[in-house]
Structure 1
């Protein structure tokens, strides 16, 4: 079984049920299934087939769902890409990923006109129209351009599907590239299906759920939790083109949304702007947080203001992505990423790969049907990351006596102050408890005496808050070596498109 086959089964079981709602328009499972089949048929007639690589650069739109499921149906490999990447960033992925066809928006056409010369293997650009003016004849890409909508319309519902092996590569997800060039994690049909199925079961998704997809669809968090998992059990996806607190509140109220998934910064924005929307989430049965550790102070404040429960989980692209979630059948533990989901094993190991005792800090490693088969064209990197069947995550964690895991910090983010380990998250948790702090990030900076120093970047809602006041506050709650030696105030912390704080940018700032 794969996710494209599962979609066909769901369409047969409940053809008239809305599969997704986009800009006020409902599309049923039967209509979605028809569009997917016809797009797959058209791709096949154009010479695409098993093993060909097709890039998906369309943002949060129905084109993403139709394009991905249609390509998977003929055995092609899908490469989702962030639409706001620069020409260089996008070009690297498309070239490294050996892309043959590109599904993209008319708004991005100019980028590809600049890029085409460096992409000799690209045969077709399937242009998804948003209403932007297009010079179909005058463009330098005119001979390669095809209307996405017309390509779907020309397809046939009579499609002979190829035999697909569960170990065939379905998706290549390029990591965000916060450290060096992005690496392409190869996820198989088995990886995608198992994780979507296990997440849907673990979070108790049903056909009555209406899931807000406000995270970027090209990111694995949204791909599995807000897209593939709901489609497993006949839920409805509420597509938000681009995250904004007001849009989320409006959609949640209009369609009585039941599930919201986001990263901590999204919850922070919703909290800061949502005092007039406290009843908007009254139908939400579950909020899911992932992508980065959620400060306990933020979690507590959000739950109190909106009267909802946030279930924090954990995942990474290389694991399709989910490995842990806080269980729904018993009280969740604030600050914890929960327990291992069904069919996935997590453990904490030392430098030799030996499991450590509960309460001890080590590296989190993962094993299960969701773990990637490797990095595309990077056998040495693959061998370093997957050892004896275990995926080494690079995250430092601990496990308690009840099997709940806690992320301490990224291994590479740990700060060494005079021989003592300082985990940024511990310092951040303290600062988040201060009433005047809305966002914070802690990094290490070179120090001639101590090796490294603790530097904190803070966004405050009080213009009169001083560095001295915060340093004194930290001194009341932290050991002396953990107290920031410098606190810099910022209007906004740098983030990537998924809302994750870019520590790399902050590190560069402190060494300038």
Structure 2
């Protein structure tokens, strides 16, 4: 079984059930399955075949769902790309990923014009018409026109009897490029088995079924959304509410109109919803489960959100290389605030030392993962693959600890740990102290070089009021933290830099600090 065969099975058994709503327009499973099949046929008519690489430059939309499942049905390998990346970032992935066709928003046509002569291996630019422009723009370079194809025409002209490619579970289905925090992005190769097993196991663990309605507002090109808020619901016969772009106002509108049962978001989304003054907590009464991932959820935010909205947040953990989920707080046992929960079905997590030996309960080590969800490797990077895949264990680079009941706790990124005078300081520990302060909206802590102590702790704060001072917060920290953990300075910002999923970018703050030091 794989994603497309399961979608087809649901369409045969319950075709009139709504698969999704988009801009308040519904689409049934039968219609979605037909569009997926026609699009796969359309791709085949262009000469795209099993094993070819296809990039998706799309936001949250039916275009993304149809393109993803249609390409997988054909047996192509899909490379989702953030459409707001710079031309340089997009160009690198298209070249490194050996892409043959790009499925893109019509607003990105100028990008195709600019790049197509540099990317000669790309044979087709399939344009998803959104109605926001009147036909194709007057491109200066007319040579790109033969490569342009219409998404809607491929779907309408496709053969509804097209048969799935004969792919194996170990064939690569998706190549997900990491954000490149430590260098050039790496393409994690996820197989059909990886994707289907993780979506199925997440659905089982969180009890997602055909009675659920899931808000899908996380970016679909990101692995968190891809598995938890897209694949898991669709292979379970649930309905997804496709939200093009997160905004608290729209989430509250969707909640009031459609009575959703599941919401998945990153910590900053929960913070925005909590802080939104016009939000009516009563509209969340239909919600049986909220899911948090992508970054550590501050305990104070979790408790405040649950109290205000009368919901339960299940925090989990994952990474692109694991498709992504490895842990979630269970629904049938007590949830532990601050924990990422226990290992999901069919996945094993351990905490090990530098020799790969499992450490004792409560000790900090590196989190390693094993299961059917673990990637095949990095595309064209055998050395990097060998460095993180050892004897079927995936080394995550995250520091963690385990309690006596098998609940795991992320201490911090291994690379983010700060060493002050020989003492370890975990940024998350200091950030939790700031999140406990009633006048702080967001916080980020990082370490930078210091000639006296090796490194020193810096903090960046988004305050609720203008009256908050550095002196007050330093005094506050002295009551909560050991001396070596107290920030040497605290800077106030209107907002913290974030990526497209809402994850706070410590590296952007650190880069700014280092540049200022050099200047």
TM-score for the superposition, normalised by structure 2: 0.98
SS at match of 2:111: helix
**Pick aligned residue for 2:249 from 232, 246, 251:** 246
C-alpha distance in structure 1 between counterparts of 2:287 and 2:425, whole Å: 37
**Partner of residue 188, structure 2:** 185
Q: For residue 160 of structure 1, report the CA deviation from its aligned partner.
A: 2.8
Is residue 340–residue 346 contact of structure 1 (8 Å, CA) maintained in 2?
yes
SS at match of 1:142: helix
Unaligned runs of 5+ residues in structure 1 are none
Is residue 136–residue 142 contact of structure 1 (8 Å, CA) maintained in 2?
no
Is residue 297–residue 432 contact of structure 1 (8 Å, CA) maintained in 2?
yes
Is residue 336–residue 406 contact of structure 1 (8 Å, CA) maintained in 2?
yes
**Partner of residue 438, structure 1:** 441
**Partner of residue 200, structure 2:** 197
Is residue 95–residue 118 contact of structure 1 (8 Å, CA) maintained in 2?
no
**Partner of residue 215, structure 1:** 218
C-alpha distance in structure 2 between counterparts of 1:446 and 1:206, whole Å: 50
**Partner of residue 8, structure 1:** 8
Tell me whether 1:455 sits opposite 2:493 in the alignment: no
SS at match of 2:145: coil
Is residue 445–residue 507 contact of structure 1 (8 Å, CA) maintained in 2?
yes
Which string of whole-angstrom CA distances, capped at 9 and with x for unpartnered residues, describes residues 14-37 of structure 1?
000000100010000000000000
Change (3 A) 1:136 1:445: closer
**Partner of residue 410, structure 1:** 413
Q: For residue 274 of structure 1, report the CA deviation from its aligned partner.
A: 4.8
C-alpha distance in structure 1 between counterparts of 2:278 and 2:401, whole Å: 35
C-alpha distance in structure 1 between counterparts of 2:333 and 2:49, whole Å: 46
Which string of whole-angstrom CA distances, capped at 9 and with x for unpartnered residues, describes residues 357-407 of structure 1?
010000000000000000000000000010010000000000000000000
SS at match of 1:348: strand
C-alpha distance in structure 2 between counterparts of 1:379 and 1:270, whole Å: 43
Q: For residue 136 of structure 1, report the CA deviation from its aligned partner.
A: 6.2
Number of equivalenced pairs: 512
C-alpha distance in structure 2 between counterparts of 1:280 and 1:128, whole Å: 34
C-alpha distance in structure 1 between counterparts of 2:429 and 2:272, whole Å: 22
Which string of whole-angstrom CA distances, capped at 9 and with x for unpartnered residues, describes residues 260-284 of structure 1?
0000000000000056411121101
TM-score for the superposition, normalised by structure 1: 0.99
Is residue 215–residue 262 contact of structure 1 (8 Å, CA) maintained in 2?
yes
**Partner of residue 136, structure 2:** 135
Q: Name which of structure 1's ranges 273-282 and 461-470 shifts more when overlaid on structure 2.
A: 273-282
C-alpha distance in structure 1 between counterparts of 2:205 and 2:136, whole Å: 48
Q: For residue 178 of structure 1, report the CA deviation from its aligned partner.
A: 2.1
C-alpha distance in structure 2 between counterparts of 1:369 and 1:430, whole Å: 37
Tell me whether 1:115 sits opposite 2:115 in the alignment: yes
**Pick aligned residue for 1:343 from 339, 343, 346:** 346
C-alpha distance in structure 1 between counterparts of 2:163 and 2:426, whole Å: 54
Is residue 438–residue 461 contact of structure 1 (8 Å, CA) maintained in 2?
yes
Is residue 53–residue 76 contact of structure 1 (8 Å, CA) maintained in 2?
yes
Q: For residue 252 of structure 1, report the CA deviation from its aligned partner.
A: 1.2
**Partner of residue 315, structure 2:** 312
C-alpha distance in structure 1 between counterparts of 2:320 and 2:473, whole Å: 36
Is residue 193–residue 372 contact of structure 2 (8 Å, CA) maintained in 1?
yes
Which string of whole-angstrom CA distances, capped at 9 and with x for unpartnered residues, describes residues 143-194 of structure 1?
1111101110000111132211101000000001222111000000000000
Is residue 60–residue 240 contact of structure 1 (8 Å, CA) maintained in 2?
yes
C-alpha distance in structure 1 between counterparts of 2:465 and 2:136, whole Å: 51
Q: For residue 232 of structure 1, report the CA deviation from its aligned partner.
A: 1.3
C-alpha distance in structure 1 between counterparts of 2:164 and 2:220, whole Å: 26
SS at match of 1:500: coil
C-alpha distance in structure 1 between counterparts of 2:308 and 2:83, whole Å: 34
Correspondence 1:421-500 to 2 at 5 A: 421-500=424-503
Q: For residue 318 of structure 1, report the CA deviation from its aligned partner.
A: 0.2
Is residue 233–residue 240 contact of structure 2 (8 Å, CA) maintained in 1?
yes
Tell me whether 1:126 sits opposite 2:129 in the alignment: no
SS at match of 1:280: helix
C-alpha distance in structure 1 between counterparts of 2:413 and 2:163, whole Å: 46
SS at match of 2:208: coil
